[in-house]
């Protein structure tokens, strides 16, 4: 924390400056969230020159811009303990949510033996994993946060990680990089009918 920030008047909650209104677990978990966000954005920058498909490039660019803005407001509210300069926005996909179900024979997946093997399937997998890690880390940090602003920003951000990961999974499915198996119709029907509607317990109030 620089001296300029220390010398500025600070809003307080009780006797504590809002910038210090954080528990120890919160500080460490948000530190991990912000570090992972930087790593995720660096991954996007690193892979961008290697993307071949224009559709994947468009997804990468839109998601990177959104991630950058979300990182900035998270870091801002973490540092000040106050509302960021704007609320958390909602990421909007620009593709349908149709999924191709079923498995077709394909080459077994295995690690690359050369950097020259990089392709859009591998790249989209790296990008999707960045969002999965973000959703997990932000969930953990939100559950540990004592600062109400930081908690709200984190919990509002989790759904965006899920949405961006979903968009990339749909892209992978459409391109054949990721296949989605299904149960047999009989097993599917059995699973769907396995749960019934709950009734209120007799001793519980209305």
Buried/exposed code over 113-148 (b: 16+ C-beta within 10 A; e: otherwise): eeeeeeebbebbbebbebbebbbebbbbbbebbebe
pLDDT given for residue 10 in this prediction:
41
The alpha carbon dihedral of 93, 95, 100, 104 has a sign of negative
Grouping H, G, I as helix, E, B as strand and the rest as coil, residue 12 is strand
| Mean pLDDT score, 149-173 | 97
Question: For 79-108, how does the pLDDT look when each residue is reduced to its tens digit (9 = 90+)?
Answer: 998 999 999 999 999 888 899 999 998 888
The domains located in the chain, with CATH, are: 18-89+117-192 (1.20.1260)
Q: Give the chain's length.
A: 206
Q: What is the pLDDT of residue 17?
A: 54
Which is nearest to 120 in space by CA: 200, 187, 174, 195? 174
What pTM value is reported for the model? 0.86
Query: Rounded CA gap, 27 and 21, in Å?
Result: 10
């Amino acid at each position: 924390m620089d001296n300029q920030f220390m010398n500025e008047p600070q809003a307080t909650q009780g006797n504590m400056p809002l910038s210090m209104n954080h528990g120890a677990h919160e500080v460490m978990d948000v530190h991990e969230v912000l570090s992972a966000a930087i790593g995720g954005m660096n991954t996007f920058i690193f892979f961008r020159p290697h993307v071949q498909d224009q559709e994947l490039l468009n997804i990468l660019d839109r998601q990177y811009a959104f991630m950058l803005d979300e990182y900035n407001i998270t870091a801002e509210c973490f540092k000040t303990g106050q509302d960021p300069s704007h609320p958390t926005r909602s990421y909007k996909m620009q593709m349908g949510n149709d999924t191709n179900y079923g498995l077709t024979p394909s080459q077994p997946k295995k690690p690359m033996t050369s950097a020259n093997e990089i392709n859009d399937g591998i790249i989209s997998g790296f990008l999707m994993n960045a969002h999965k890690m973000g959703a997990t880390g932000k969930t953990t940090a939100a559950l540990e946060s004592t600062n109400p602003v930081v908690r709200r920003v984190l919990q509002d951000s989790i759904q965006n990680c899920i949405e961006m990961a979903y968009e990339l999974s749909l892209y992978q499915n459409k391109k054949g990089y990721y296949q989605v198996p299904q149960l047999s119709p009989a097993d599917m029907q059995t699973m769907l009918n396995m749960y019934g509607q709950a009734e209120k317990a007799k001793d519980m109030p209305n």
